[in-house]
Amino acid sequence: MLQSRLVAALKSLSIGQGVCRISAQPLSTTAAKCRQVEDRREMLKSLPAIDEGTSGEKAVDIDSMIHHKDIFPNLDTPNMMFNGTPFKELPIFNIRVSSNNTVFSLTDYKGTPKIIRSCGIEGFKNARKGTNIAAQATAISVATRALEKGIKTIRVRVRGIGPGRMSAIKGLQMAGMDIVSITDSTPVAWDPPRPRKQRKL
């Protein structure tokens, strides 16, 4: 639909130039009027889906299923030792991801906060806060702060989906943190209170 409209517009342009140069003017005015709601919806549909950082959600990777057997926790997991600390007493990196921002907070196993940083604090403002690059840069700076405090082995708990989801975890690893496990704690309810009304596109 959109393509055919574009082709028609191009054709009319070339004809207009061929016949006389003055007729180029009405073209621009009609093009502005042609922009309807339907076309905008179609354009949005034709755009590629926004990357939320949840890679592997749809695609099936068979190899990873075959090779790893003990990737899930069991009854002994809380007492398993990682770098001299039992799993249940490892410090926790909480990452809260939304479409507009990414917030990192490092807590000990009781939940006492030690470091809180977000993409906004890090200097990314407005729409840039919600990008994967911002999340990765923030992750690296937070991780270096944690390493300065002597915290290396951590568990990661991710909450929410957004562009920063994957890159935040990757950034932590790039900075040299030793990630033991990744947990998802996205709040999901099957009978939630009535959410806000839908956005108008």
Partner 1 sequence: MRHASFIARTVFVQKNDVEAACKVLNRILGREGILDQFRRTRYYEKPFQFRRRINYEKCKSIYNEDMDRKIQFVLRKNRTDPYPGCI
Phi, psi dihedral angles at 76 (to 5 degrees):
-85, -10
Least Å distance, CB 76 to partner 1, is 11
Q: With respect to partner 1, which residue has the nearer C-beta, 23 or 181?
A: 181
Q: With respect to partner 1, which residue has the nearer C-beta, 144 or 185?
A: 185
Other CB atoms within 10 Å distance of the CB of residue 21 = 9
Q: With respect to partner 1, which residue has the nearer C-beta, 45 or 58?
A: 58
Q: With respect to partner 1, which residue has the nearer C-beta, 134 or 169?
A: 169
Q: In the Cβ-directed half-sphere of 136, how many Cα atoms lie within 13 Å?
A: 11
Q: With respect to partner 1, which residue has the nearer C-beta, 33 or 58?
A: 58
Which residue ranges make up the site for partner 1 (CB under 8 A)? Answer: 54-61, 64-65, 68, 70-73, 77-78, 87-88, 155, 157, 161, 166, 169-170, 173, 178-190, 192, 194-199
Helix axes 132-148, 164-174, angle to 10 degrees: 30
Least Å distance, CB 86 to partner 1, is 12
Least Å distance, CB 18 to partner 1, is 48
Strands (E), 56-112: 81-82, 85-86, 92-97, 102-107
Strands (E), 32-149: 81-82, 85-86, 92-97, 102-107, 113-118
| Bridge partner residues of 103 (DSSP) | 96, 118
Given a contact cutoff of 8 angstroms between Cβ atoms, the answer to whether 96 and 103 are in contact is yes
In this structure, which amino acid lies at residue 91? P
Other CB atoms within 10 Å distance of the CB of residue 86 = 13
Least Å distance, CB 146 to partner 1, is 16
Least Å distance, CB 130 to partner 1, is 15
